[in-house]
Amino acid sequence: MKAQRPYPRATITSKGEHALAKGHPWVYEAEVLFMEGAPGQGDGVANGSLIDVVNRKGSYLGTGLLSKSSKIRIRLITRNANDAFDRAFWKRKVAWAWEYRKTVMGEDASCCRVLFSEADGFPGLVVDRFNDVLVAETLSVGMEQLKPVIFPVLLEVLAEDGVSIRGLYERNDVATRKLEGLELTAGWFASAADEGGQAGLDPLAPGAPGTEDFGPTVTQIVENGVRYEVDFENGQKTGFFLDQKYNRRAVAKLAAGRHVLDCFTHTGSFALNAAHGGAAYVNAVDISELAVAQARKNAQLNGLDERMGFTATNVFDLLPALEAAHDRTYDFIVLDPPAFTKSRKTIQSASRGYKEINYRAMKLLPRGGYLATCSCSHFMDTERFKHVVASAAHDAGVQLRQIEERQQAPDHPIVWGVPETDYLKFFIFQVV
């Protein structure tokens, strides 16, 4: 490096350098040879701090955020040695992310993912917008420490574009935070003024004075013409799965006049889209009674409940039971399961789970029936998932005619070189 920089630095292995050169933003613990403190500040490097990454020759590779408790030791935020990591830097990044959402989502940007972690250069931070509410998950220690900067500039960028946000709610109650040494918390951030006098956000514990000013933790959204009640305090993740937005619309296009079984319905999104698309009857199934109750409420909200049924049961029990009863009620089945694997170690067992539900669905469907099936685990890559579905079709004695192969909505962008951003596989077939 030609000039001395004011940051600590980590020298990494050639393997780590090669991974960065291919576009991945992570440096793993085993790839760090040694770390040095910032010039004039001793050898210590604070957890969550900015740190330069260099190769064995001292050549600059990027600057990232240090996570001492994680196997992902450094997450890059830039590869530009000229960047200054001030408020203006983060505001530019937020503005780029928001401009992208407006471009690819259009009017649908009113309910979309505004920041998608590594895909937007905010490693470990996810922010979803539900009309006038933002819901955030912060999963890395570096982003946790930068929230007092990032959240105010996020509100500022939206406000400058005429978007009014009544509050930002944090869903930091996920176990993943423990890998970063972070506590599990949830609650509103309260409006305040930052040091620059701009409207900002300061963290308040749930129930602290001032949090009640932001109103209830339930809001309504409209997606694909369907109205939903979103409970962002108690619902899964940030309260609603926005990534399937256009896949639900694809299902609705094929649903007219059909009898639809929506498995793993959660709060009823695929089921409601099918009913909205003109399905004769839709049964929404989920193991969670709370989720089924919310799905029923959403159906009533849209005046669709008279053509819908709701069943709280285990899909792995329901499908074999329908087959044993020779029940041929359904000519369209939707399989939208949770991620069956969150690590490489459990891919084989996950494959068996995916095969089981697809096999059972194919056995239930009549010739000419339709199947929508997906996986939301990035460890279950596209080719492996295709193999699982093909194997299920072989064992079920059916042939599949592919109608569409789809992925997550573009507000969850896939960045080439970062396979973790490419996680949702979605297929629609006709059984022939």
Tell me which amino acid residue 238 is: T
Tell me which amino acid residue 42 is: G
Sign of the alpha-carbon dihedral angle for 26, 28, 34, 39: positive
* Of 252, 287, 256, nearest in space to 271 by CA: 252
User: What's the token pair of residue 10?
Assistant: 């980590």
Q: Do 358 and 392 touch, CB atoms closer than 8 A? A: yes
Sign of the alpha-carbon dihedral angle for 394, 398, 401, 406: negative
Query: Three-state DSSP class for 367?
Result: coil
Other beta carbons within 10 angstroms of residue 400's beta carbon come to 21
Specify the DSSP element, H or E, that contains 66: strand 60-66
Tell me the C-alpha distance between 128 and 284, whole Å.
25
Tell me the C-alpha distance between 272 and 228, whole Å.
9
Catalytic residue among 111, 112, 263, 376: 376
Q: Do 292 and 309 touch, CB atoms closer than 8 A? A: no
Q: Which residues contact 333 (CB under 8 A, 6 or more apart)?
A: 260, 261, 263, 361, 364, 365, 369, 370, 371, 372
User: Is residue 376 annotated as part of the catalytic site, yes or no?
Assistant: yes
Q: Which residues are catalytic?
A: 376
